[in-house]
Structure formats: structure tokens, C-alpha cells
């Protein structure tokens, strides 16, 4: 329960920081990042999510000790979570 609260607190903190920051023109950063949601949403759903699921849950790949698979799996999960926060 504590780890779940910390996990959700991390996302909440990320959202607060994203809403408080401004870009070089003085526009909220969340508005700048969210401007391209029509491109990011299909890319996330069609490419990032399936690739992350395959790399994470295919038994041959998930049990692989190769550092490249570990890096790829974590990168895709982080990318998916970031794109989900931007929408």
C-alpha cells in the first residue's frame, strides 16, 4: 500500500511540476507538450504499447538477461507513461 501511494505521489508531483513550468515564450509547458496529442496518441497506442507489451511479457524475452532487452523494456514503459501524462 505504501509503495502504491509513493507511485501515485510521483505521478501527482510530475503533473504539478508540469503545470507550473513555463516554456521560453511564457506558455505553460503542459499546453506546449499537449499540442501534438493527435500525433502522440496513435503513436503511443499503435507502436509504443504493443512493443512494450511484447518486450515485457513474452517469456523468451522477459527472462532474457541481455541488458539491451532490460533497457528497451524500461524505456518503452517510461515512454508510455510519459505520453499518457501528456494527454
What is the per-residue DSSP string for the chain? -HHHHHHHHHHHHHHHHHHH-B-TTS-BHHHHHGGGHHHHHHHIIIIIHHHHHHHHH-HHHHT---HHHHHHHHHHHHHHHHHHHH-
State the pLDDT at residue 86.
67
Residue with cell 507513461: 81
State the pLDDT at residue 87.
64
Among 33-42, 54-63, 66-75, the minimum mean pLDDT is found in 54-63
Model pTM score = 0.60
Rounded mean pLDDT of 46-62? 81
For the chain, give every domain's residue range. Answer: 2-86
Average pLDDT, the chain: 79
28 φ/ψ angles, rounded to the nearest 5 degrees: -55, 135
Task: Quote the percentage of the chain above a pLDDT of 90.
Answer: 1
Amino acid at each position: 500500500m505504501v509503495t502504491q501511494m509513493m507511485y501515485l505521489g510521483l505521478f501527482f508531483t510530475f503533473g504539478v511540476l508540469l503545470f507550473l513550468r513555463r516554456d521560453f515564450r511564457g506558455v505553460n509547458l503542459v499546453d506546449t507538450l499537449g499540442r501534438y496529442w493527435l500525433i502522440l496518441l496513435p503513436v503511443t497506442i499503435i507502436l509504443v504499447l504493443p512493443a512494450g507489451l511484447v518486450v515485457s511479457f513474452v517469456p523468451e524475452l522477459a527472462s532474457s538477461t541481455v541488458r539491451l532487452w532490460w533497457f528497451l523494456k524500461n524505456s518503452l514503459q517510461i515512454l508510455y507513461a510519459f505520453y499518457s501524462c501528456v494527454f
